C-alpha cells in the first residue's frame, strides 16, 4: 500500500463548476466570506469543521473516510478543508513579533496578516494535496488600529482577499 502511495500521481483535477464540501477546521461553519468566494467557483455544500470524537480521541483515517462518505452522499466531488490563522504584528527590536489573534484584538498591532492552509481531496480516490497560499497582510495598521471601529471591517476585507487568492491558487 505504501509503495502504491509513493508512485507519482497526476494533479488533482479540481475545476470551476465542480461540487465541493467546504469545511473550515475548528469552526461550526465556513466563514461567510469564504462560502461566497467558493460559490463563485463551485457548487458549495458548507459543513461543520468540528471533528467527531470517540473516547476522547480522533482517528484521522476514520474522520477522512467519514467526510468522504458525507461528501459522496451529498453529491460532492471534492472536499476543501481550510485552516486560518489571523496574526497581529508588533515591532520589537526592529523586527515584527507576530502573535495569533483569538477573539478580541487585544494589542496595538502595527500590521495584521492572515495565513491559510487548504487541503483539497478527491472524494472518489482519496487523493489529496495541500496548498499554502501566499500570506496576505494589511500593513496600514498603526498603534491603536485594532481599537478603531473600522478594524472588524478591515479584517473582513483581508479575509475576502485571502480567500479569493487561496481559491485561485487551488484552481491552478
Which neighbouring-strand residues pair with 100?
87
* pLDDT band at residue 70 under the 50/70/90 scheme: very high
pLDDT: which is higher, 117 or 151: 117
Per-residue pLDDT reduced to its tens digit, 23-56: 999 999 999 999 999 999 999 999 998 876 554 4
Highest mean pLDDT among 73-82, 88-97, 134-143: 73-82
Per-residue pLDDT reduced to its tens digit, 107-150: 567 788 899 999 999 999 888 999 999 998 887 655 554 555 46
What is the per-residue pLDDT for 43? 96
* pLDDT band at residue 81 under the 50/70/90 scheme: very high
pLDDT: which is higher, 50 or 79: 79
What is the per-residue pLDDT for 13? 80
pLDDT at 12 over 50: yes
* pLDDT band at residue 59 under the 50/70/90 scheme: low
Amino acid at each position: 500500500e505504501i509503495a502504491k502511495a509513493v508512485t507519482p500521481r497526476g494533479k488533482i483535477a479540481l475545476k470551476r463548476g465542480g461540487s465541493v464540501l467546504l469545511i473550515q477546521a475548528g469552526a461550526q461553519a465556513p466563514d461567510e466570506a469564504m462560502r461566497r468566494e467558493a460559490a463563485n467557483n463551485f457548487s458549495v455544500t458548507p459543513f461543520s469543521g468540528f471533528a467527531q470524537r470517540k473516547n476522547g480521541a480522533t482517528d484521522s483515517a476514520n474522520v477522512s473516510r467519514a467526510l468522504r462518505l458525507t461528501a459522496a452522499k451529498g453529491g460532492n466531488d471534492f472536499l476543501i478543508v481550510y485552516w486560518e490563522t489571523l496574526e497581529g504584528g508588533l515591532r520589537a527590536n526592529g523586527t515584527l513579533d507576530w502573535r495569533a489573534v483569538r477573539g478580541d484584538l487585544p494589542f496595538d498591532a502595527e500590521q495584521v496578516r492572515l495565513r491559510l492552509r487548504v487541503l483539497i481531496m478527491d472524494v472518489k480516490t482519496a487523493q489529496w494535496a495541500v496548498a499554502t497560499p501566499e500570506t496576505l497582510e494589511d500593513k496600514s495598521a498603526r498603534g491603536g488600529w485594532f481599537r478603531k471601529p473600522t478594524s472588524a471591517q478591515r479584517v473582513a476585507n483581508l479575509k475576502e482577499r485571502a480567500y479569493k487568492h487561496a481559491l485561485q491558487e487551488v484552481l491552478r
